[in-house]
Amino acid sequence: EPLIGVLALQGDVREHVAALRASGARAQPVRRDTELSEVDGLVIPGGESTTISRLLAMFGLLDPLRERIAAGLPVYGSCAGMILLAAKVLDGREDQHQLGGLDVIVRRNAFGRQVDSFEEDLDVTGVGSVHAVFIRAPWVESASPEVEVLARVSDTPDVPGGERAAGRIVAVRQGSVLATAFHPELTGDTRVHRLFVKMVEENS
Ligand code: GLN
């Protein structure tokens, strides 16, 4: 059984730990470099990417985590986690740190300010139909050819952002890095976490 860490600096850590355990993995919160070195994979939860970025630097985790991701550690980022993994962020803060691993440009808070949250049923490649919960979510503005697009919002979205949001990319995979703009840990549906556990198992 692989041991999967959940980065526990800020955000909905407990929900991811529970979803991973329900998916047959061992899971533990990660706050220190020593804990990071023990895990076979890592989830970066939703929360506030600017805050998590600042705490990563404060806790001395920025470089160790960048190095492990570059060395092939399987990572799954949800929402703020997706933002942190992206090579570049639009509408981020200037001092926001990036972990890299995902050759995409993301737009923060992309679906607009007026309505922060929405839900949509999405077809996710390799998973099936998923009821996706978006909370002040980013979208992937552009992705390099190495990035596999796993899901897009529909072409006629009944979502904040309207026309601009049509068909936007909201789930991707690049090698051992998985990212979703939405929050599967909130729905009790563990299929996205199971996909990640499988990725970790295949890697170890
Ligand atoms: N808007 C948040 C950010 O910029 C992400 C929201 C979330 O993780 N639910 O980091």
Residue 69 identity: I
Report yes or no: 12 and 185 within 8 Å, Cβ to Cβ: yes
Q: Give the mutation target among 51, 78, 89, 136 for probing the ligand 1 site: most ligand atoms within 8 A of CB.
A: 136
- The arithmetic mean of pLDDT across residues 148-176, rounded, is 86
Task: Give burial (CB, 10 Å; 0-12/13-18/19+) of 73.
Answer: buried
Model confidence, pTM: 0.96
113 is in an annotated binding site: no
- The arithmetic mean of pLDDT across residues 69-83, rounded, is 98
For residue 93, CA distances in Å to 62, 168, 171 come to 17, 22, 23
Lowest mean pLDDT among 31-45, 53-67, 109-123, 189-203: 109-123
Residue 142 identity: S
Confidence of residue 157 (pLDDT cuts 50, 70, 90): low
Residue 114 pLDDT: 54
Confidence of residue 65 (pLDDT cuts 50, 70, 90): very high
Q: Which atom of ligand 1 lies at the shortest distance from residue 51's CA?
A: 10
Residue 160 pLDDT > 70: no
Question: Is 185 a known active-site residue?
Answer: yes
77 is in an annotated binding site: no
- The arithmetic mean of pLDDT across residues 102-119, rounded, is 86
Question: Is 67 a known active-site residue?
Answer: no
- The arithmetic mean of pLDDT across residues 164-183, rounded, is 95
Alpha-carbon span 139 to 8, nearest angstrom: 23
Residue 120 pLDDT > 70: yes
Alpha-carbon span 67 to 48, nearest angstrom: 22
Residue 146 pLDDT > 60: yes
Question: Is 183 a known active-site residue?
Answer: yes
| Identified catalytic residue from 79, 148, 193, 202 | 79
> What share of the chain in percent tops pLDDT 90?
86
Could you please state the CATH topology (level 3) that the domain comprising 3-109+139-147+170-203 is classified under: Rossmann fold (3.40.50)
94 is in an annotated binding site: no
Alpha-carbon span 79 to 184, nearest angstrom: 10
Residue 57 pLDDT: 97
Residue 59 pLDDT > 90: yes
Residue 49 pLDDT > 70: yes
Q: Give the mutation target among 15, 49, 53 for probing the ligand 1 site: most ligand atoms within 8 A of CB.
A: 49
- The arithmetic mean of pLDDT across residues 152-171, rounded, is 81
Q: Does ligand 1 lie within 6 Å of residue 80's CB atom?
A: yes
- The arithmetic mean of pLDDT across residues 58-69, rounded, is 97
